[in-house]
């Protein structure tokens, strides 16, 4: 027969055991420790600004530290390689953008495979990168430009903000599909290419630096290279609407290493779904001159891997130079 003292001790033991189990479960629940957010670009750029805003939102939501770690270089592939090697527990994620996840592996050898080495958590926005000409150009529509270019081989001089980037590939594919031979002129970035357009060295440009010039009436937008309409210019057709071979979304999103637990993915996805409905998020998108384009885990995974596969087919066909 148990004595009162023995019963009391056993009760204390059961209570302590229950408390320890609750504490263990609480400690294991994501998130319960600091999160590292890797960015493959320098401080102050659009990717960095976007990431720091998301980090602040997550600090407030989850009440844990979120550290932004800038690892610029090699077109963000250094940061992407670091992410692929990280522990897949949800505590290390990175900014996911178009080039390192869908294009760069086809031009330089990488230590990662975008189709299997990552967990694509969510997409937040897309950046418009339309094809445009000067406002005094004879080309009023994309059809007029392409008809003239086809009738005048190698006389159309054009460029993009990033040589061998997504918009270079999609536009070259569009030209090739209809038999256009045009002359691509590489520049170091969108600003240099914009100067070349206004200086008359090129006749058409695909770049994100269009907003102030479009607002001032100094350029004419002919088509949007991505699949999403530009809200301020709904009359401008997209490459997708024009039935061009590929329309590459210039996206911002968040990815983790492959193998993240489903319950952790759900936590990230739930946070993102709430985040994109806040007024602050719309302010961020406007600041970056982007378009809200939320995709959850499944849809974002399909989007990225689909574009990656398309790039693998197109790049050899287009004879683009590899580094």
* Structural domain spans, the chain: 34-126+250-318, 130-224
| Residue 121 phi, psi (nearest 5) | -80, -55
Same fold, 34-126+250-318 and 130-224: yes
- Decide if domain 34-126+250-318 falls under CATH 3.60.40.10: no
Q: What is the CA radius of gyration of the chain?
A: 24
Q: Could you read off the pLDDT of 221-271 as tens digits, one per residue?
A: 999 999 888 988 999 999 999 999 988 888 999 999 999 999 999 999 999
Q: In this structure, which CATH number among 1.20.950.20, 3.80.10.10, 3.40.190.10, 3.30.950.10 belongs to the domain 130-224? A: 3.40.190.10
- Compute the distance between CA of residue 21 and CA of residue 247 in angstroms, rounded to an integer: 52
105, 101, 221, 225: which is closest to 175 by C-alpha? 225
Span 5-30, pLDDT tens digits = 554 444 544 444 444 444 444 456 99
Task: Work out whether strand 219-224 and strand 130-134 pair parallel, antiparallel, or are unpaired.
Answer: antiparallel
Helix (H) or strand (E) holding 28: helix 4-28
The tens-digit pLDDT sequence of the chain (323 residues) is 445 455 444 454 444 444 444 444 445 699 999 999 999 988 887 889 999 999 999 999 999 999 999 998 888 899 999 999 999 999 999 999 998 999 999 988 999 999 999 999 999 999 889 999 999 999 999 999 999 999 999 999 999 988 888 899 899 999 999 999 999 999 877 888 999 999 999 999 999 889 889 999 999 999 999 988 898 899 999 999 999 998 888 899 999 999 999 999 999 999 999 999 999 999 999 888 788 999 999 999 999 999 999 889 888 888 776 65
């Amino acid at each position: 027969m148990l004595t009162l003292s023995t019963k009391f001790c056993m009760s204390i033991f059961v209570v302590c055991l229950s408390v320890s189990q609750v504490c263990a479960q609480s400690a294991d629940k994501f998130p319960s420790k600091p999160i590292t957010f890797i960015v493959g670009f320098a401080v102050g750029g659009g990717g960095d600004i976007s990431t720091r805003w998301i980090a602040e939102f997550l600090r407030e939501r989850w009440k844990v530290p979120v550290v932004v770690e800038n690892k610029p270089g090699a077109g963000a592939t250094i940061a992407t390689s670091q992410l692929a090697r990280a522990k897949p527990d949800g505590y290390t994620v990175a900014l996911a953008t178009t080039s390192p996840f869908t294009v760069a592996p086809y031009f330089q050898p990488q230590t990662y495979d975008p189709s299997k080495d990552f967990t694509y958590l969510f997409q937040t926005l897309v950046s418009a990168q339309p094809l445009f000409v000067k406002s005094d150009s004879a080309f009023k529509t994309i059809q007029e430009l392409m008809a003239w270019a086809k009738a005048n081989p190698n006389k159309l001089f054009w460029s993009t903000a990033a040589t061998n980037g997504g918009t270079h590939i999609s536009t070259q594919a569009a030209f090739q599909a209809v038999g256009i031979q045009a002359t691509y002129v590489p520049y170091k970035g969108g600003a240099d290419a914009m100067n070349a357009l206004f200086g008359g060295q090129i006749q058409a440009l695909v770049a994100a630096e269009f907003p102030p010039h479009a607002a001032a009436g100094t350029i004419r937008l002919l088509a949007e290279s991505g699949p999403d309409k530009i809200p301020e210019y709904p009359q401008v057709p997209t490459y997708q609407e024009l039935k061009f071979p590929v329309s590459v979304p210039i996206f911002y999103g968040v990815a983790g290493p492959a193998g993240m637990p489903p319950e952790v993915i759900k936590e990230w996805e739930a946070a993102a779904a709430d985040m994109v409905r806040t007024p602050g998020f719309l302010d961020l998108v406007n600041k970056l001159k982007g378009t809200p384009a939320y995709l959850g885990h499944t849809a974002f995974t399909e989007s990225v891997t689909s574009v990656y596969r398309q790039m693998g087919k197109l790049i050899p066909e287009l004879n683009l130079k590899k580094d």
